[in-house]
Amino acid sequence: MSDENQNQNQNKWCFAWFAERAAKDNKRAALARAAQWNSSDRITVSFLDGDPTVQSRVRDVAGEWTVPGMANLSLIFQQNPDSMVRISFLRPGSWSMIGTTCMQVTDRREPTMNYGWLNADSTDEELHRVVLHEFGHALGLIHEHQSPAEGINWDRAAVTRDLSAPPNNWPLDVIESNMFKPFSEAETNFTKLDPQSIMMYPIPPTWTVDGFSVGLNSNLSESDKAFIRRTYR
């Protein structure tokens, strides 16, 4: 990947949330546990819009989470507005609701997952990276940088400056909840921060005070695989 393309991709960030966003902080752990699917669940998925060719590519990549030997779950793609996970390509940004909380969105016209910059011209690498990440959220995974196992020494001013500017234009509360607020130990099963995780943001060295950085992860790490197998036996 060229430096120019990598820089462009690093300006594209995912955000994710529990559908019950009004919950108070002291209930976040309970919500996280409630967001986990049951092993052998059949999760229905449909597209609200989008190019059929891109839809097919998304479907193929998403299935990597549930192939034999991975999560004991089924992703059932269908043409049905009552699907649990509903995907759009029309909203700004890339995002997903976490786990089963997608079912709290009762307006069937509303997406629970969005791919705002994926289109027919998207490279296989970018589509692979983005789709695996968002379906990780849909299966209940949080952002790896919010793991409580090991902190990242953020340069908060630099992160806030960059993410509050175009093309993201995130308000301060979104930056706080998606970048700086770690989950409690009850909310994650990872025991060590995994820089290779598909759930890890790309982090430029200018965002940390000690030069820690992470590139663009496009594949499931060994920790990702171990986690999903252990969670959904």
Is 80 exceeded by the pLDDT of residue 33?
Answer: no
Is 80 exceeded by the pLDDT of residue 203?
Answer: yes
- The predicted structure's pLDDT at residue 157: 97
Is 50 exceeded by the pLDDT of residue 227?
Answer: yes
- The predicted structure's pLDDT at residue 149: 66
Is 70 exceeded by the pLDDT of residue 36?
Answer: yes
Structure tokens of 40? 């052998």
Between CA 194 and CA 73 the distance in angstroms is 24
Question: Cβ–Cβ contacts within 10 Å for residue 174, how many?
Answer: 16
> By the 8 A CB rule, do 200 and 207 touch?
no
Q: Please, is 16 exposed, middle or buried when counting C-beta atoms within 10 Å of its C-beta (0-12, 13-18, 19+)?
A: buried
Q: Per 3-state DSSP, what percentage of the chain is helix, strand, and coil (rounded to 5)? A: 40, 10, 50
Structure tokens of 217? 């992860």
**pLDDT band (50, 70, 90) for residue 150:** low
Nearest 5 degrees, angle CA 200-CA 84-CA 37? Answer: 60
CATH of span 3-231: 3.40.390.10
C-alpha closest to that of 130 among 207, 61, 53: 61
203: left (phi over 0), alpha (psi -120 to 50) or beta: beta
- What percent of the chain has pLDDT above 90? 61
> By the 8 A CB rule, do 135 and 69 touch?
no
Between CA 202 and CA 222 the distance in angstroms is 18
Between CA 78 and CA 64 the distance in angstroms is 18
Tens of pLDDT, residues 57-112 = 999 999 999 999 999 999 999 999 899 999 999 998 889 999 999 999 999 999 99
- The predicted structure's pLDDT at residue 159: 94
